[in-house]
Amino acid sequence: MDVKNAFLHGELDQDIYMDQPMGFQNQDHPDCVCKLRKALYGLKQALRAWYGKIIEFLTHSGYLVTSADASLFVNAKGEKLAIVLMKELGQLKHFLGIEVDYSQEGIFLHQQKYSKDLLKKFGVLKCKPILMPMEPNAKICAHEGKDLEDATMYRQLVGSLIYLTLTRPYISFAVGVMSRYMQHPKKPYLEVVRRILRYVKNTFGYGIMYKRGGDCKLVGYCDADYAGDHDTRHSTTGYVFVLGSGAISWCSKRQPTMSLSPPKRSTEQHRWQLKRAVGLCNC
């Protein structure tokens, strides 16, 4: 469902002014500005104003906010409510770069078009595919190699790959490592990132499959290296949670503190996983 002109319904709680719109200038007062009476697309307050509007109506009508998500409302009475004009968009096929395929087997989420557009954008669509996103035991250091004269491409590449991890958990580690050097990337790093693109070329059709039926049981896995970051000697933790047949939550992240021993590293990795598990169980 889609709310028509959702951000125009919000009420502003502060005075905001704008220049006179082009084509609607007051010729007698060309230097005057307009005071907004309601929210407008482009305002940083627009989303918050719409949320305040919708939550006011829903709670007044008996809907309750769930503890798992502040944007999820439940009406135990089962009553219907229409406060704004809604539009039925049909079966979801595409959402923010994620494609949704339906079959008798289940639902398949992937980013095949996004992947091809990404490779085409950076001129590597015809590159030779490889089997792994990163060399085993690759040594990435902040002080090796010369700085890139223009880091724009590197940042665009890594940022695009981060978005690709929405349906490709298996590149999270490699992308996470390279995202640590966004501020001062080196020339060798660009080749490492391009290697990830070559792996993406080899896995165009990959994604996440959520099969029908089966045991809808939440299962989690976690692991961590020991002092794997060559710059800080911090460990890197990774976890993934699977519900039924498909992954629903995953992460690969450098631990914020240095682990003095493997048991300390394990304690930290399990703490992260348990925090996420509690959150998922409350959904």
Instruction: Please tell me the predicted confidence (pLDDT) of residue 62.
Output: 81
**Residue in this structure with the two tokens 């939440």, named with its chain if needed:** 218
Instruction: Please tell me the predicted confidence (pLDDT) of residue 76.
Output: 66
Give the domain ranges of the chain. 2-87, 106-207, 213-281
pTM of the model: 0.69
Residue 21 is given by DSSP the state P
**Residue in this structure with the two tokens 């009420």, named with its chain if needed:** 11
User: What does the alpha-carbon distance between residue 20 and residue 36 come to, in Å, rounded to a whole number?
Assistant: 11
User: What does the alpha-carbon distance between residue 163 and residue 114 come to, in Å, rounded to a whole number?
Assistant: 10
Strands 207-211 vs 73-74: parallel, antiparallel or unpaired? unpaired
Q: In the structure, how many helices (H) and strands (E) does the chain have? A: 6, 13
Instruction: Please tell me the predicted confidence (pLDDT) of residue 72.
Output: 79
- Average pLDDT along the chain, 283 residues, taken 10 residues at a time: 82 91 88 92 90 86 79 70 64 90 94 94 90 86 83 93 94 93 89 93 92 85 82 86 90 81 74 80 73
CA distances from residue 91 to 24, 86, 112, 168, 195 in whole angstroms, order as listed? 40, 15, 19, 23, 36
Whether 176 and 267 have beta carbons less than 8 Å apart is answered as no
